Amino acid sequence: MKYRTRTYYTDAQKALMWERWKQGWTLHQIAQLFNRSHTSVQGILSRTGGFRPPARSRCATVLTLAEREEISRAVVAGFSIRSIAALLGRAPSTISREIKRNGGRSDYRATDADCAAWDRALRPKQCKLVENRALARVVTDKLRALWSPEQIAGWLKHTEEREIHDLIQQINSDQMQGIEQELFKQRKRLVDAERELQTKTTKKAQESQRIAGNKVAAALATLDGMRRTELRDTDARLFPLWWGPVLIFEEGQPVIRPMRYHLRPAGKPAFYDAKYPGLYNSRRDNLRGFWKGHFGHTHGLALVPVFWENVVRHVAEHRELQPGERPENIVLEFRPVPQRDQLVACLYSHWTPPAGVDEPDLWSFAAFTDNRCLRWLQPATTARSWPCRRRTSRPG
């Protein structure tokens, strides 16, 4: 079987593709212009999610090829960094970075440096969080706790605030780009399925129409949530493995620490997170059993503005199931009036990795729960947290 050679489209051909795509041409119609398969055109259009990328251009403030030629000649002549900077009217740090990132004084070449700068400016580029794992863990934990980029940057203001903020923005940009590309793919799948159904009704086309429609709606909802700036009531929800504020005492002083809502016992291996998925709640009937290492030693108060509880309807209504009725889960919302943080009693742990293990320290907590009604329910379907009363006066 003979295969066609790979085609590398020119900039003019790519521009023609985008013009026809904007006019509403299909992939097959565009591919016929170049006598190629539609998949070769799809690869170019889907790379940016079906949106035409802006034309690349150099920033007016970057070094030009002529300036790099001057730097190359000055380096050969033995000029100092400050002398070269004065000659070109540039900052000495600019000249120093230019030479260091392109081979140093011994290997600096103007043409190679100019091509490398053009390639480095290409977007998207690999996120810096991929290269810095420790920083990635810190930023990920804060994002799971629903911290905004501004909050994280303020918390890390002594550790390169501007860079952290840019990294978070880069994460959001990369995620949105991936979702937009998936949206383009599912929209095409939906259109193809609808076109097939117009000629012949098949189960495959109907399934593709249903699945693609659901995925398009989900992608649009996700993009809308990422772009919004106003808060919603659901933003206050705290799910297992998310992070929330916990009030504890350290050296006699009250301290609020962000902790993960899934306790990892101190001294236990990290795989306990997967082995015991229910460690976000510490049941009252097991405090002197599984939790004996923490009960009476490490107690805290989780600060919860709104509390949601999953319960079974007939249990919440204090009645038995009717004939033919199936258990139904409902969500109850507890919101104090006037609005204030609710104090939920909890156990917490400060987990530190054993020697030789590349893991960060972990603060985590588990809320006290009373599961006495579980004899009527499926396991872990309901758990009543223990609130703490606010004292208005000290005991006499």
List Cα–Cα distances, 217 to 182, 210, 211, 212, 260, in angstroms: 12, 11, 10, 9, 31
**pLDDT by residue (tens digit) across 55-112?**
777 888 889 999 999 999 999 988 888 889 889 998 888 898 899 888 888 889 999 9
Closest CA to 216 of 194, 175, 188: 188
Distance (Å, rounded) from C-alpha 259 to C-alpha 247? 10
- pLDDT of 44 higher than 50: yes
Closest CA to 293 of 266, 262, 320: 266
Distance (Å, rounded) from C-alpha 113 to C-alpha 98? 8
pLDDT at residue number 119: 81
0.75 surpassed by pTM: no
**pLDDT by residue (tens digit) across 191-245?**
999 999 998 889 999 999 999 999 999 999 888 887 877 777 666 677 888 888 8
- pLDDT of 172 higher than 80: no
Binned at pLDDT 50, 70 and 90, residue 130 comes out as low
236-385 under CATH 3.40.50.2300, yes or no: no
> Taking the CB of residue 376, how many other CB atoms lie within 10 A of it?
14
Give me 167's structure tokens: 């990294």
Percent of the chain topping pLDDT 70:
84
Asked whether the beta carbons of 167 and 129 are under 8 A apart, the reply is yes
Distance (Å, rounded) from C-alpha 388 to C-alpha 32? 72
**Highest mean pLDDT (candidates 119-133, 146-160, 261-275):** 261-275
Binned at pLDDT 50, 70 and 90, residue 156 comes out as low
Query: Cβ-count burial of 156 within 10 angstroms (0-12 exposed, 13-18 middle, 19+ buried)?
Result: middle
Distance (Å, rounded) from C-alpha 149 to C-alpha 129? 14
- pLDDT of 5 higher than 60: yes
pLDDT at residue number 374: 31
